[in-house]
Amino acid sequence: MNRRVFISFSTFIGVSSLLHSTNPIVTKVELSKDIFNIINSVQEHFFPENSQLPSAREFRAVEFLNDTIFHKTFDKDIREFVISGAKDFISQENGKFINYSYEEKEIALRKFENSTKGSQWLSRIMILSMEALLSDPIYGGNYKESGWKALDTKGGEPRPESRYIKL
């Protein structure tokens, strides 16, 4: 086999394996449905409807969290901690947390908070939620500047022109 045939054959094999791959080359990475739902439910408990601050849904807390933790510059250990903490919380509550009443959710969250990992996980979810509430809307949270308006403030100047700096 000459060099030209070998290179052509190797290229064909490489490209065909990519075409038949079950994992697309470029995808939007997202939380699994159960992890997304549990984090969303916790954030909605932290920031409920009809309070002085916008609700987690209004300022798009879970969408911000998802986009942030899967950004290529986000700390992988923190991403794994957010996901594993959610799995632990789901396990503690046998997957029923999202259907609990407000009072039942409060009890479950207080119970989870009593463990070191649970306390740290809830703190991390709160930090990411506060970032969603107060960051510039270009980053995906603080929808329609709802967090700024509720606190009668505004973002820093100059405002960012793109979502993330180009690396």
Residue given tokens 């979810």 in the structure block: 125
User: Does the pLDDT at position 4 exceed 70?
Assistant: no
Range of the domain at 32: 28-150
Look at residue 15 in the predicted model and tell me its pLDDT. 40
**pLDDT digits 0-9 by tens, 140-151:** 999 999 999 999
- The whole model's pTM is what? 0.80
In a domain, 22, yes or no: no
In a domain, 97, yes or no: yes
Let me know if residue 167 belongs to a domain: no
pLDDT at 6 over 50: no
Predicted pLDDT of residue 26: 39
With respect to residue 33, please indicate whether it lies within any of the assigned structural domains: yes
The verdict on residue 120 lying in a domain is yes
155, part of any domain: no
Nearest to 59, CA basis, from 151, 124, 121: 151
Q: Is the pLDDT of residue 127 over 80?
A: yes
Conformational region of residue 151, where left means phi above 0, alpha means psi within -120 to 50, and beta covers everything else? alpha
- C-alpha dist (Å) from residue 101 to 41, 83, 123, 128, 139: 11, 24, 22, 24, 32
* Domain-located, residue 15: no
Residue 103 lies in a domain: yes
Task: Tell me how many domains the chain contains.
Answer: 1
CA distances from 70 to 4, 43, 56, 63 (A): 41, 18, 19, 11
Q: What's residue 24's pLDDT?
A: 40
For range 123-132, the mean pLDDT: 98
* Residue among 164, 109, 102, 106 at smallest CA distance from 138: 164
In the structure, what pLDDT confidence band is assigned to residue 165 with cuts at 50, 70 and 90?
A: low
Question: Considering only CA atoms, which of 46, 111, 42, 53 is closest in space to residue 82?
Answer: 42
| pLDDT tens, residue by residue, 59-101 | 999 999 999 999 999 999 999 999 999 999 999 999 999 999 9
On the 0-12 / 13-18 / 19+ scale of CB atoms within 10 A, 129 is buried
Cβ(65)–Cβ(140) under 8 Å? no
